[in-house]
């Protein structure tokens, strides 16, 4: 449980999320634009596709969590699924961004539904949930989990900046399919590095692992874990906002700031403070605790949205608001994943049953449901504001809907996050959890 993880392995682990984001950041930030302005699917239909897919995701996340908990191979519980899904992630991205032009309108919608469900509900669920579960399986050390997550997000935000700057130029040069081929291959390579560069160690003694525990009992125990409920809410909050701001960000840059090319600079202003802050986060978390850092983080994120609201057409003010949001998001990105591993330990400590897969389904469930709700609201909001895809100038109602999607709604969602985190301070009991689990495992060896 107390194995010290090397820097090399931490980087190999972090590259897995880089691989996932070569797929998912492209989907979250550009798929709505691709569907509305290139394929010609209405914004309302796009929103509905996003929501239906995410509802299915919620079911698949829990199912995959059970599968991981019952997987036992020489490679471990989670790593085999990273290996299997690595090439499928790239293939799924390419198919999603390759809607045939010769299809009828209904045919295009059907193709979009099938390929998006294939990528999001099946492939990405299996890959991302297995990857996230590795946090708890590689080590039981709280400090290593925090530093692993910090390195992970430093690299993730770097690749997000890269994607924000390069996606549209790649589309102009190679088309949407060509862009997806490039990012799909990059994602596959990163995920394979994670498989070959990590090792599962923090696994419950096989003598005490009960694969005969019913799925129903596992779910009941999970739902009795109040920290699991809190962490799930926080994931939904974080990814609703990512779905909203990521999905409508390029519209905001084009229609409020006058140039869609500014979206890359907006992303830069938001993510650079995060990347810098992530270097300091392990020290801050060690001194003040993850919980306190996350509470302050949500407050700063709310302040960032308010700054943008003060002057939504002022590029400097928008950049300032994004930077403040970025600083606030540091603990809420790194801390939340490290906290899920703590929640898995809490479940074992409280009930004697360790369900990493199901516990980490909170990460995948929250990611998918949150992003799906955010993306769906973007589609519906644009439709409600009478947005016209491909139009040179948008109506006042369309502009108002874009502003609401980028500021008002994310601000309200962030307030929900503040309420949730106030009810989830696991840091105060974790030293006892860690001590008791170590003693139990030593006594059973």
For residue 132, name the pLDDT band (cuts at 50, 70, 90).
confident
For residue 441, name the pLDDT band (cuts at 50, 70, 90).
low
| Cα atoms in the Cβ-side hemisphere of radius 13 Å centred on 11 | 3
Total length of the chain = 445
Mean pLDDT of the chain: 85
How far apart CA 237 and CA 175 sit, in angstroms, is 33
For residue 210, name the pLDDT band (cuts at 50, 70, 90).
very low
The predicted model gives 266-270 an average pLDDT of 89
Widest Cα–Cα separation across the chain: 70
Structure tokens at 236: 């939904």
6-15, 59-68, 109-118, 158-167: least confident range? 59-68
**Percent of the chain scoring above 90 in pLDDT:** 37
Task: Reply yes or no on whether the pLDDT at 213 is more than 80.
Answer: no
Write down the pLDDT at residue 298: 95
Structure tokens at 225: 């874990």
| Cα atoms in the Cβ-side hemisphere of radius 13 Å centred on 184 | 22
Write down the pLDDT at residue 142: 67
- Asked if 27 and 117 touch (Cβ cutoff 8 Å), the reply is no
Task: Reply yes or no on whether the pLDDT at 49 is more than 90.
Answer: no
Count Cβ atoms below 10 Å from residue 376 Cβ, excluding itself: 25
Task: Reply yes or no on whether the pLDDT at 12 is more than 80.
Answer: yes
pLDDT tens sequence across 300-322: 999 999 999 999 999 999 999 99
The candidate with the shortest Cα–Cα distance to 86, out of 14, 176, 184, 197, is 184
pLDDT tens sequence across 152-209: 888 988 898 899 889 989 999 999 999 999 999 999 999 999 999 988 876 554 444 4
pLDDT tens sequence across 389-425: 766 777 888 889 999 999 999 999 999 999 999 987 7
For residue 388, name the pLDDT band (cuts at 50, 70, 90).
confident
Instruction: Report the predicted TM-score, pTM, of the whole model to 2 decimal places.
Output: 0.71
The candidate with the shortest Cα–Cα distance to 40, out of 132, 107, 90, 89, is 107
For residue 215, name the pLDDT band (cuts at 50, 70, 90).
low
Which residue segments constitute the domains of the chain, with CATH numbers given? 7-198+214-444 (1.20.1250.20)
């Amino acid at each position: 449980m107390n194995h010290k993880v090397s820097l090399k392995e931490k980087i190999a682990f972090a590259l897995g999320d880089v691989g996932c984001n070569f797929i998912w950041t492209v989907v979250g930030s550009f798929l709505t634009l691709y569907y509305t302005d290139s394929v010609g699917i209405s914004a309302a239909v796009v929103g509905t596709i996003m929501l239906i897919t995410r509802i299915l995701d919620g079911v698949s996340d829990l199912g995959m969590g059970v599968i991981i908990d019952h997987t036992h191979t020489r490679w471990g519980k989670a790593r085999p699924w990273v290996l299997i899904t690595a090439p499928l992630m790239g293939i799924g991205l390419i198919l999603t961004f390759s809607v045939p032009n010769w299809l009828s309108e209904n045919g295009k919608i059907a193709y979009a539904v099938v390929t998006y469900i294939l990528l999001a509900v099946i492939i990405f669920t299996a890959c991302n949930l297995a990857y996230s579960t590795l946090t708890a399986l590689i080590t039981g050390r709280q400090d290593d989990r925090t530093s692993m997550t910090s390195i992970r997000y430093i690299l993730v935000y770097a690749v997000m900046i890269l994607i924000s700057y390069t996606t549209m130029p790649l589309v102009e040069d190679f088309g949407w399919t060509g862009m997806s081929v490039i990012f799909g291959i990059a994602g596959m390579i990163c995920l394979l590095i994670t498989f070959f560069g990590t090792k599962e160690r923090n696994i419950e003694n096989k003598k005490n692992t009960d694969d005969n525990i019913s799925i129903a009992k596992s779910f009941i125990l999970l739902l009795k874990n109040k920290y699991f409920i809190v962490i799930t809410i926080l994931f939904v909050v974080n990814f609703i906002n990512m779905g909203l701001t990521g999905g409508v960000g390029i519209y905001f840059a084009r229609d409020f700031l006058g140039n869609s090319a500014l979206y890359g600079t907006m992303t830069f202003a938001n993510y650079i403070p995060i990347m810098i802050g992530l270097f300091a986060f392990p020290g801050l978390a060690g001194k003040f605790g993850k919980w306190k850092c996350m509470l302050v983080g949500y407050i700063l994120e709310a302040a960032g949205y308010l700054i943008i609201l003060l002057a939504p057409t002022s590029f400097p003010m928008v950049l300032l608001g994004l930077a403040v949001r970025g600083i606030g998001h540091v603990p809420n990105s790194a801390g939340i994943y490290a906290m899920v591993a703590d929640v898995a330990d809490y479940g074992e400590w409280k009930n004697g049953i360790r369900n990493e897969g199901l516990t980490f389904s909170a990460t995948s469930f929250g990611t998918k449901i949150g992003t799906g709700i955010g993306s769906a609201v973007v589609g519906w909001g644009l439709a409600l504001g009478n947005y016209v895809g491909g139009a040179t100038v948008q109506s006042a109602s369309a502009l108002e809907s874009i502003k609401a999607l980028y500021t008002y709604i994310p601000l309200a969602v962030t307030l929900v996050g503040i309420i949730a985190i106030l009810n989830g301070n696991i840091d105060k009991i974790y030293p006892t959890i860690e001590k008791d689990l170590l003693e139990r495992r030593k006594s059973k060896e």
